[in-house]
Amino acid sequence: MVRQNLLALAKQGDTAAIASLINRQLQPKNITAKVTLKILVCKYY
């Protein structure tokens, strides 16, 4: 993915794009990040 497109996807909440951007920064330190999305649904009655 092109970096600018990757950043746009990350801003939209794309977990793969977020993980890719984080991992690019952490790679020199041999650290790998895993990004997951949790959705919390609250219902009020």
Q: What is the pLDDT of residues 5-44, one digit of tens each?
A: 999 999 998 989 999 999 999 999 999 988 887 887 888 8
> What pLDDT is attached to residue 12?
92
* Length in residues, the chain: 45
Confidence at residue 2, expressed as pLDDT on a 0 to 100 scale: 67
Query: What is residue 43's three-state secondary structure?
Result: coil
Q: Which tokens belong to 32? A: 């790998």
Domain count of the fold of the chain: 1
The pTM of this model reads 0.68
State the pLDDT at residue 23: 93
Residue 1: is its pLDDT beyond 60?
Answer: no
The kind and range of the H/E element at 16 are helix 15-26
Q: Which residues contact 35 (CB under 8 A, 6 or more apart)?
A: 15, 16, 18, 19, 22
| Pair 33, 22: CB distance under 8 Å | yes
- What residues make up the domain containing 5? 1-45
* Structure confidence at residue 34 (pLDDT): 86
